[in-house]
A and B are shown apart, each in its own frame.
Chain A
Amino acid sequence: MWTSNRFPALWLLPALLPVILMTVYPIGHALWTSLHEVMILFPGEPFVGLKNYQRVVASNYFGDALRNSLVFTLIAAPSVVILGTLIALFLRRRFFGCEVVRSVVLLPWVLPGAISAVLWVWVFHPSFGILNGILRDLGLIDTSVPWLTNPQTALLAVAAAHVWTQIPFAVILLMAALSAINAETLEAAAIDCRNPAKRFRYIVFPEIKAMIVLLLVYNALTAFTSYDLVYAMTGGGPGTATTLLSFQIWRESFSMYDFGAGSAVAFIVVVISAVLIAAITKTLPSDLFGSS
């Protein structure tokens, strides 16, 4: 008799094949590339072991790029989650025009990264940018601040743009989590405790903690592998001020024509990302990754 238990591998094949083709093969090929000298300008692809890894770790950009990536992630991921939570809590309230406000909040999410970058370049522009205009009108600055070309402000400016693009997704998920909380529990909490901060801490937060951990992990990964905004807004500069590790994957591969080194950086990014996920889930235990 034919049952799915008799040929498990055969039944799994339709699902496994795309995974093998679309995930396992590219990762395997990237690993192979990282262990070989694959340079467009030079013939042959000899095995070089860990030489590519040694070279990129010893390069003059690696230290700066790693530091920038970690700082960028430490700024961006918590900012997205904190702001996303505050906005989601606000948007749950009923007020005049709340539907319109909810739609507008989602706008950054539907904009392609390149468009967001152009928009923020215009916001930060020293000659005609709105930010310098407002600060000047408020009397906070006398001369325009070159936000994107000053090494002291460039990373912060790019991080602000990145946070802006990521907040809507966090808001949607947090609103979904908030709406799943039992209304009677919230009603009882409102009667028992007048302090909204305490109500959030003891009633709401435990209910949405799994979602917050999920968003922290997701945003840590998004920030750590961010590429498009940085490329379009600063090109990694000035100097190495906004050079991120993920950006170096592209630079090594396409600017330097060294696909071996580019793949090595990619695998270093993968390892650090895995450490980040482990650190977040260990620091904030939740039932998100718990065994069923």
Chain B
Amino acid sequence: MNRSKLLAALALASGFVVQSAQAEDLTLEFVVWNYSLETIQDNVKQFEQANPGIKVKVTDYAWPDYHDSLVLRIRGNTPTDVIYGGQDWLPAWGAAGFIAPLDSVAPKGTIEELSKDIAGFALTDVTYDGKVYGLPYYSDTISFIYNKKILDDAGIAVPTTWEEVTAAAEKLKAGGMDKPIIYEYNQELPNFYDAFVAQSYGRGADLFDAELNPLFADPSNGAYKQLQWIADAYSKGLVQSDNHESTIITAMNTGKHAFTIVYTYVLAALNDAATQPLAGQFALAPMPGETHATLGFAKSYVVTAKAAADPVRAEAAWKFVNFMAGKPYTVAKRWAVEKGLGFGQLPLFEDKDVIAAWSKWADVGALGKQASIAKAGTYTEYSSVWSAYFRPLLAQAMVGEAPVDQVMKDGAQRWTELKEQFANR
């Protein structure tokens, strides 16, 4: 064989080797909602560099379409390996066999070890039927946010109860502010129900007992009182509805509203000096009410049952989830520092970079205090179905289209029906 033939043979052989290696690359299908897609893509790129042989294809949907699109993907057998999970959907997905417990893909003992670092409410949100199904992508609370300057100028103290919120809003209205409260009002978004639960928690209410019986139809329950409070505030002309947090940010920055109740990360956007004219004027106060508790929740990285059933894909999926949410929590820290997203991994509360970044838009002490008294929501296999039924009723009661008493009774009855239906399935 002459030299040229030898070189040609070597080139051919190396081509086969490269092709063979490429053929062995495994591609994970990662499905997300499209919040900060460029950051997601960059995190994925870093994972791929650290894990040769594993590629990750990101598919994104808008947040309002995410849940439906994902259900359709899984029911339609579209390849899907790792997904963003929500605390309200997780039990239903678990019951439907869409997703797998992380213990089934992670090395023995790993999940137990990681769970020790996860905040209580966040761990509750990623657990179904006693098993951990996800690791937190981010974890946040719902906050009562006010405009410091407006309150200072009007000589109003930060309200600590809902009655004080009414009094402050009435004083501002008398002073010329048409709608002092701006309220995220979109009955199709889970946020709408979450915000209501957070306010009820502020009053110290539980919406369900330990046996999952509804308590909120009792007029002495804090949730009942809170719905009545919202309806009264609307009837007094104190509240302006807004159907999305993105427009609440702009509206609060017009200086025409003093109070709102939104996810805490919205505070970072409200106080973003680069984009908002009134940045720096906004602060969070403890949720009004007797206990000041609020709702805490976690969105998570979850592995599908189909991926878990294939040992090779399961191993790759676990590596990916562990990279995104496991120790040393680099990706969770990045979200916190760059985007102001909360986290479920407790060690990050002591991270200097996180504290420095968050100090720019919030009182970190107040934030930590709120997180420490935050409570998880009640999520069952049927709670998202029930929530979809209950949210329009809540919306009607708030604007006076339906009596509070009837709405609470209807909601409790539907919950009980679903509970029995699910128990008898």
Residues of A within 8 A of B (CB): 40-43, 61, 114, 121-122, 125-128, 143-144, 146, 148-151, 231-241, 243, 250-251, 253-257
Contact = CB atoms under 8 A, between A and B. Distances in A.
Nearest to B74: A40
A231 B63 CA distance: 13
Given A238-B187, A239-B399, A257-B92, A127 B389 contact: no
Contacts of A148: 241, 243
A127 B396 contact: no
Contacts of B401: 151, 238-239, 241
Given A128-B254, A146-B241, A234-B243, A239 B385 contact: no
Contacts of B421: 42
A246 to B, nearest CB: 14
B187 A235 contact: yes
B186 A40 contact: no
B381 interface: yes
A239 B68 contact: no
A41 B243 contact: no
B71 A128 contact: no
Contacts of B399: 149-151, 238-239
Interface residues of B, number: 45
B79 interface: no
Given A40-B92, A232-B64, A237-B395, A149 B243 contact: yes
Interface in B397-425: 398-399, 401-402, 421-422, 425
A232 B186 CA distance: 10
Contacts of B396: 238-240
Contacts of A143: 178
B67 A41 contact: no
B187 A40 contact: no
A235 B186 contact: yes
B392 interface: yes
B256 A127 contact: yes
A238 B251 contact: no
A128 B179 CA distance: 13
A267 B60 CA distance: 31
Contacts of B75: 40
Nearest to B246: A118
A237 B385 CA distance: 18
A250 B247 contact: no
B382 interface: yes
Contacts of B182: 127
A114 B257 CA distance: 27
Nearest to B72: A254
14 contacts: A40-B92, A42-B425, A121-B244, A125-B242, A127-B182, A146-B241, A148-B241, A149-B242, A235-B189, A237-B187, A238-B401, A255-B188, A255-B385, A256-B388
Interface of B: 62, 64, 67-68, 71, 75, 92, 95-96, 178-179, 182, 185-189, 240-244, 247, 250-251, 254, 256-257, 381-382, 384-385, 388-389, 392-393, 395-396, 398-399, 401-402, 421-422, 425
A237 B392 contact: yes
B247 to A, nearest CB: 6
A152 to B, nearest CB: 10
A231 B187 CA distance: 10
Contacts of A121: 243-244, 247
Contacts of B179: 126, 144
B251 A235 contact: no
Contacts of A234: 186, 243
A150 to B, nearest CB: 8
A128 B67 CA distance: 31
A125 B252 CA distance: 12
A155 B185 CA distance: 16
Contact of A239 (B71, B247, B256, B395): B395
A127 B188 contact: no
A144 B242 CA distance: 13
Contacts of A126: 179, 240, 251
A275 to B, nearest CB: 27
B243 A235 contact: yes
A172 B378 CA distance: 54
Contacts of A241: 401
B354 to A, nearest CB: 33
A32 B136 CA distance: 40
Contacts of A237: 185-188, 392, 395
A43 B401 CA distance: 37
Nearest to A126: B240
A167 B119 CA distance: 53
B259 to A, nearest CB: 14
